[in-house]
Homo-oligomer: A and B are copies of this chain.
């Protein structure tokens, strides 16, 4: 296909595609005339993944280049490839190590992870971004004196495990490793406001059930 069709099928503007080509995020097409190149299905899949990372995930171009190399590395298993893609996503501020609430929060989070048999991330790369994000968020609750112990968090973690089963079921409906990685990034990011608004709606229903007088 020509550039115009690649743009139409990916939903990415031609100027943006040219930028990705210059940045090495897409391999050059097959030159057919002095001014035109031909692109294949593999370009389209790669472009959709790059769009997911950069436009949906807000990942910087330099990081996207590294992630792409990992996701296309056949020597890595699919767990490592999905991890490379999702670990690159922004994850908010790191824990404030000068705040005593951070120490309390980390003990509770570590207790929770041990209870569930969850890992902190690779031994090789240190704690995962999601682990650091969790410690930061639990420290904010601790600081205000709201419930933030492993005992309080456990039922929410068990519901998160059920969410993750549905998430990975959706990811597995895609065929290639690259399309699965694109789905993992997009679904992780775009389902977040969906899940938060469903929770707020569910809270309103539960409040009506408990406290409402019609």
In Å, the complex CA distance between A91 and B133 comes to: 21
In Å, the complex CA distance between A163 and B194 comes to: 14
The range of chain A's interface size is 35 or more
Give the residue of B121, B128, B164, B202 whose beta carbon is less than 8 angstroms from that of A160. B202
A166-193 at interface with B (beta carbon < 8 Å): 166-168, 170, 172-173, 183-184, 186-188, 190-193
A159 touches B163 (CB 8 A): yes
B77 touches A137 (CB 8 A): no
Minimal Cβ-Cβ distance residue in B for A143: B11
A133 touches B193 (CB 8 A): yes
CB within 8 Å for A56 and B163 given contacts A77-B211, A197-B137, A210-B168: no
Bitwise interface map of A from 133 to 175 toward B, beta carbon under 8 Å scored 1, else 0: 1101110110010110000110111011111111110101100
Q: Please, which residues of chain B bring their CB within 8 A of the CB of A136?
A: 193
In Å, the complex CA distance between A138 and B195 comes to: 10
B188 touches A203 (CB 8 A): yes
A133 touches B212 (CB 8 A): no
In Å, the complex CA distance between A157 and B166 comes to: 12
A79 touches B199 (CB 8 A): no
Interface residue? A29 (CB, 8 A) = no
Q: Which 10 A-B pairs have the closest CB atoms?
A: A130-B200, A164-B202, A137-B193, A79-B212, A78-B211, A160-B198, A134-B197, A133-B197, A79-B211, A164-B206
> What residues of chain A have their CB less than 8 Å away from a CB belonging to chain B?
11, 56, 77-80, 82-83, 86, 91-92, 113, 118-119, 121, 128-131, 133-134, 136-138, 140-141, 144, 146-147, 152-153, 155-157, 159-168, 170, 172-173, 183-184, 186-188, 190-208, 210-213
